[in-house]
Amino acid sequence: MFSQREQFKPFESRIWLSSPTMHGPELEYVKEAYETNWMSTVGANINEAERLACEKIGCKYAVALSAGTAALHMAVKLAGVKPGDRVFCSDMTFDATVNPVVYEGGIPVFIDTEYDTWNMDPAALEKAFELYPNVKVVVTAHLYGTPGKIDEIRSICARHGALLIEDAAESLGATYKGRQTGTFGDVSAISFNGNKIITGSSGGMLLTDDKEEAEKVRKWSTQARENAPWYQHEELGYNYRMSNVIAGIVRGQFGFLEEHIAQKKAIYERYRDGLKDLPVKMNPFDAENSEPNFWLSCLLIEEEAMCRQVRGECDVLYKPEPGKSCPTEILETLAQYNAEGRPIWKPMHMQPIYRMNGFVTREGSGRAKTNAYIAGGVKGTDGRPLDVGMNIFQRGLCLPSDNKMTVEQQDTVIEIIKRCFD
Ligand SMILES: Cc1ncc(COP(=O)(O)O)c(C=O)c1O
């Protein structure tokens, strides 16, 4: 590889996909927790982190929890999902979006993805309500920090009397029609996992405008203790509250959210400009109505420029071809140079655990296809592949998007990617 032109040396320190970026105030708040001995799930950092989240996002209540997954679990419980209930869920997302449905005994039914924002396709959602008219809960995520078609999704939910849970774990700070993601769901969730736009090392929050719901989650997340002199329990409880130490980090990070977004946006734009002559596109967004937080920059390779790539359950093979490339070749090449990319999140309907669940495309109902399908060319009536999620999974990848990557390092990453197409 790269025989004719300048050889690059591997990066001395790893270029990460997206790693934590600390600034200093975080440590002060952690120290404060230590020095005042609020080393628990109560304390000023928790109160302040919740206040900052409400102020930034524009919701009335934020409940600080141990993880975004815990927030989604509490959201599913608030929505009243019962064993055997079907719940419509985003398909191309991280499994934490959908697992909480199963914690409550619900059955996820996956809704295909659209090409404009790589999120839940409103047309497929509408189709799903035709096929399963009794569904009362929808869980939708904003992938990679790009707002989905949330207005349309909301109005479809309203028309069918369904509650909307918004998974804004990856999209904190992103807006749709000027409004922050995290305010569109009947209940919403954010995450402070170590790879997110701001982090507590872990942690998450449930967001709502409903005081009673916020109080319920505060109670459930602290073992559902009743107001009694002893441990009194009428409901099932959870140990889901955020620690005051973690909250100190979150509290310190909030002031840097906009700075991180600006850095991520610059990274996205540099990739877009630097790769413009290749047969690739960046992950798209609705520029008229939305402003992503640009958490991860991604690429989609044009179909004609894909070399052959076949993925099994846990292995992959590809055949290099002049003028063409594939996500695996690019990811393996980046890894050789000590840079971390990642495949697109593999759609849920293709995950072994969810393979037997329902899956709805805008063309109608389908079940997961076999792996042979992954490399195949099954087309819908509009000439496009039936399953948008698998098509993006096959051709797309997440690029190193760490906000500590220098311009020079990114230029080298761009050059490495270009040479994969030589
Ligand atoms: C889309 C999405 N939903 C939910 C989560 C879960 O958040 P957490 O890791 O804080 O539990 C994550 C990330 O981890 C995510 O990317």
Class for the domain spanning 4-20+257-419 = alpha beta
The answer to whether 4-20+257-419 and 25-255 have equal CATH topology is: no
Residues 200-205 have a mean pLDDT of: 98
**Two tokens, residue 175:** 């807006």
In the chain, the percentage of residues whose pLDDT exceeds 70 is: 93
Residue-range domain boundaries for the chain: 4-20+257-419, 25-255
Could you tell me if the CB of 68 is within 6 A of ligand 1? yes
Could you tell me if the CB of 167 is within 6 A of ligand 1? yes
Q: Tell me how far apart the alpha carbons of residues 333 and 320 are, in angstroms, rounded to a whole number.
A: 12
Is 374 a residue whose pLDDT tops 50?
Answer: no
Q: Quick one: CATH architecture of 25-255? A: 3-Layer(aba) Sandwich (3.40)
Task: Band the pLDDT of 135: cuts 50, 70, 90.
Answer: very high
Which pLDDT value is given to residue 371?
36
Which pLDDT value is given to residue 5?
62
Give this prediction's pTM. 0.95
User: What confidence tens digit (pLDDT) does each residue in 263-299 have?
Assistant: 999 999 999 999 999 999 999 999 999 999 999 999 9
Which pLDDT value is given to residue 386?
57
Residues 407-417 have a mean pLDDT of: 98
Residues 97-122 have a mean pLDDT of: 98
Which pLDDT value is given to residue 387?
87
Cβ-contact 204, 70 below 8 angstroms: yes
Helix, strand or coil for residue 112? coil
CB-CB neighbours of 6 under 10 Å? 7
User: What confidence tens digit (pLDDT) does each residue in 305-323 have?
Assistant: 999 999 999 999 999 999 9
Q: Which of 73, 119, 193 maximizes ligand 1 atoms within 8 Å of its Cβ, making it the mutation to test the pocket?
A: 193
| Sign of the four-CA dihedral 378, 392, 340, 371 | negative
Distance 142 CA to ligand 1 centre (A): 11
Helices 44-57 and 25-35 pack at an angle, to 10 degrees, of: 140
Task: Band the pLDDT of 353: cuts 50, 70, 90.
Answer: very high
